[in-house]
Homo-oligomer: A and B are copies of this chain.
Amino acid sequence: MTQTSRRGRRQRSAGKPEIRFPQLERRVLHNRFAPIAALDEEQISLIHDASMELLEQQGIEVMGETGQRVFREAGASVDAAGVVRLERGLVMESIAQAPSRFRVTPRNPDNTLPVGGDVIQFGLVSGPPNVHDAINGRRMGNMADYRRLICLGQFFNVIGFFGNQATAPTDLAPNTRHLDTTLANLTLSDKPFFVPGIGAGRVLDGARLCALARGLTLEQLAESPAVMTNININSPRRLDDTMACGAIQLARLGQPVAVTPFTLMGAMTPATLAGALVQQNAEALFGICLLQLVRPGTPAIYGGFTSNVNMRSGAPAFGTPENSLANMAGGQMARHYGLPHRTSACNASNAVDVQATYETQMALWGAVLGHGNLIYHAAGWLEGGLVASFEKVVTDCEMLQHMSAMLQPVTINRAEIGLEAMQEVGPGGHFFGCAHTRERYREAFYEPFLSDWQNHESWLQAGGLDATRRATAIWQQILATFEPPPLDQGVQEALADYVQRRKEALGTHEPELEPPA
C-alpha cells in the first residue's frame, strides 16, 4: 500500500490546540477489482429489449411544453396526454452521443472530479428535510446545519463531491435558498457539487456562480464543466416539468446531468428486480436522450436508485439484498451503454446503529463492486433519507476510508515479503523489533480514526463509549477547528454581490421555470 500516506493530517487553528486527525490523503480512487456480474449477458439483453419496448409502446409522460417540444422537434410521437414514445433507433443514436467519461472542475482544480471509467467518487448525503446529532437532537433542516454539513464534507478527504442539497434549509425562503446554499458550497468548500435541478432559474444561478468562482464566462464553462445536477424521473414513467426544465437548462450550458429514476420496487415498479431494472433502464435512457437532443454531447450520468419497499407496510427499505444487487446490475446496464454510473449507499434505520451500518455496507459494497462512478448519499444518510445525521457522516467516512484503503494496489515483491526477516526472527519469535518492521511500521497498515482497539479494561476506563458516541466528539472537534479553504477576496465579493442582486430581483417570486427560448 505504498501509495497511501498514513500520516495524520494536522489541522492548525490560531489560538486553538493543534489536533491530530489521521485521515487518508485526497486521491482519485480507481476501482482495481473487476465488476461483479449480478446479471449474465442474456439477462442484460432481456432488460435492454424490454426497456426499448417500454419506450416504444408505452412511453414516458412528459409534463409541460418545454420537454415535450424537444421530443416533438426530434420527430418523436407526443400524444395528447403528453406521453412521449421513442423509437429505439432514436434512443440509441442519442445516448451514443454522451461521453463515456468527463471531468468536473470546481474552483480548486486539485479537486477536479473525473467521472466514468474505473474512478469511484463518494458524495455527501443530499436531500433530507431533517438533521440529527446526539447533542442537539432531531430537528428540521436549517441553514446553519447546512453549513455545518458542508464543513464536514469539505474536511473529509474521502468525500469527493456534494449532492444536490445536504439538508433543506427550511428557515430560508424557498425561492432563493438555492442562492444561499450555492454560496455556502463555494465559500466553505472547494469541491465539486450538484445544484438543485428544480427549474431553469436555479440551475442557471448555480452555473453563473460557479463561473464567477472560476473567473470564466458561461461559454468557457461549457468547455470545462463546473457544476452538475441530478434529476429524478417520477417513477413510474413521468418526467416533471420542473425537472425537465432544470435538465434542459443545464444541458444547454454543457454541464453534466445525472438522470435517476426513483424506482422503489413494489411501489413505483413491479415487485421484481426484473421489472425495476427494465423500468429504471427505460427511464434513465429517456432522460439522457432528452439531454442529447437538447445539446449533443452533453455529459450525462446513468442514475440508479432501485431498492424495495416493505411489502407489509409500504415503507421504503435500503441496503437490502435486492438494493445491493440493483446497484451491481445498474452498473452493468450503464456500462452496456458506455455511460458513467451514479448509484448510492443508503439505509432505513432510525439510529446510527448496527442496522444503519449493515444496510449501508450492503449498499456500499454493491455500489463499489457494481463500479459505481458517483456513489451518492455515501455519508450521513439516515431514516431512509429523512435525516442527515452528523454522527453518521463520521461513521460513514470511516467506512469509506476502509473501502478506499482496500482498493489500493497490493505490492508483492522480494523486499516486501522479507524472507530475511523471517530468518532473523525464527520459529516462535515476533516481528515487532526487526529491521524489516521498523522500516515499515508507520505506514504499514490503514489507520482508522474511529475504531477503538483497546482492550476491554482500557476501553472501559476511557469511558466505554461505543463508536456512535465517539463519533459525536469527532464532528464537534472538526467543526470547532474548521477553516474554510482560501478564496480570493474579489471572488468572494463578486459571489456575494450576485446573490444579493438576484435576491432583490426575485423578491418573493420563484426563479424562472423554463430556460429562455
**In chain A, residues 126-155, which have Cβ atoms closer than 8 Å to a Cβ of chain B?**
138
| Complex Cα gap A120–B410 (Å) | 26
- Check A3 for interface membership: any CB of B closer than 8 A: no
Q: Is the Cβ of B464 less than 8 Å from the Cβ of A358?
A: no
Q: Would you give the shortest CB distance from A417 to chain B, in whole angstroms?
A: 5
Instruction: Tell me which residues across on chain B come within 8 A of A405, comparing CB atoms.
Output: 321
Chain B residues within 8 Å of A442, by CB: 311
Residue on B nearest A411 in the bound complex, by CB:
B274
Residues 442 to 460 of chain A near chain B (Cβ within 8 Å): 442, 444-446, 448, 450-456, 459-460
Q: Is the CB of A267 closer than 8 A to any CB of chain B?
A: yes
What residues of chain B lie closer than 8 Å to A412, measured between beta carbons?
39, 43, 46-47, 273-274, 277
Would you call A314 an interface residue if the criterion is a C-beta within 8 Å of the partner chain's C-beta atoms? Answer: yes
Q: Is the CB of A272 within 8 A of B354?
A: no
A:26-71 near B, CB below 8 Å: 33-34, 36-39, 43, 46-47, 50, 53-54, 57-58, 60-61
The reply on A93 being an interface residue by CB < 8 A is: no
Q: In the bound complex, do residue A456 and residue B359 qualify as a contact, i.e. CB atoms below 8 Å apart? A: no
Which B residues are CB-close (under 8 A) to A359? 451
In Å, the complex CA distance between A313 and B37 comes to 41
A17 at interface by CB-CB < 8 Å: no
Q: Are A422 and B386 in contact (CB under 8 A)?
A: no
> How distant is the Cα of A341 from the Cα of B163 in the complex, in angstroms?
42
A310 at the interface (CB under 8 A from B): yes
Is A227 part of the binding interface, using a Cβ–Cβ cutoff of 8 Å?
Answer: no
A271 and B410 form a contact (CB under 8 A): no
CB neighbours of A16 from chain B (8 A): none
A74 CB within 8 Å of chain B: no
Query: Does A349 sit at the interface, judged by CB under 8 A?
Result: yes
**A386→B455 CA distance, assembly (Å):** 9
Which single member of B414, B422, B466 contacts A351 (CB below 8 Å)? B466
Cβ of A260 under 8 Å from chain B = no
Q: Determine which of B279, B321, B350, B428 lies in contact with A459 in the assembled complex, contact meaning CB atoms within 8 Å.
A: B350
Please tell me if the beta carbons of A321 and B236 are within 8 angstroms of each other in the complex.
Answer: no
Asked whether A451 and B37 contact (CB < 8 A) given A267-B432, A351-B466, A427-B61, the answer is no
Contact (A349, B452) CB under 8 Å given A266-B441, A444-B266 = yes
**Counting CB contacts under 8 A, is A296 at the interface?**
no
Contact A36 B34 (CB under 8 A): yes
Q: Is A493 interfacial (CB 8 A cutoff)? A: no
**Total identical chains:** 2
Q: A423 contacts the other chain (Cβ, under 8 Å)?
A: yes
Q: How far is the CA of A410 from the CA of B44 in the complex (A)?
A: 12
Give every chain B residue within 8 A of A121 (Cβ-Cβ): none
Alpha-carbon distance between A361 and B399 when the two chains are bound, in angstroms: 10
How far does the alpha carbon of A436 sit from the alpha carbon of B448 in the complex, in Å?
A: 47
When chains A and B are docked, how far (Å) is the Cα of A83 from the Cα of B427?
9
A233: nearest residue on chain B (CB-CB)?
Answer: B427
**CB–CB A418/B272 < 8 A:** yes
Interfacial chain B residues near A279, Cβ < 8 Å? 422
Q: Contact check, B456 vs A138: say whether CB atoms are below 8 A apart.
A: yes
A419: Cβ under 8 A from any B Cβ? yes
A-B contact pairs, 18 of them (CB 8 A): A33-B38, A46-B413, A47-B417, A50-B414, A53-B419, A54-B419, A236-B427, A236-B430, A273-B410, A274-B416, A275-B436, A308-B445, A315-B455, A350-B452, A353-B466, A358-B361, A362-B406, A366-B406
Known: A272-B411, A272-B417. 13 other contacts (CB 8 A): A58-B422, A268-B431, A271-B437, A271-B444, A271-B445, A273-B410, A278-B417, A308-B445, A310-B453, A324-B402, A351-B464, A354-B357, A355-B450
A residues bordering B, Cβ < 8 Å?
Answer: 1, 33-34, 36-39, 43, 46-47, 50, 53-54, 57-58, 60-61, 83, 138, 234, 236-238, 265-275, 277-279, 308, 310-311, 313-317, 320-322, 324-325, 329, 348-359, 361-362, 365-366, 369, 383-384, 386-387, 395, 398-399, 402-403, 405-406, 408, 410-414, 416-419, 421-423, 425-432, 434, 436-437, 440-442, 444-446, 448, 450-456, 459-460, 464, 466-468, 471
- Identify the 3 closest CB pairs spanning chains A and B, nearest first: A61-B427, A274-B416, A321-B406
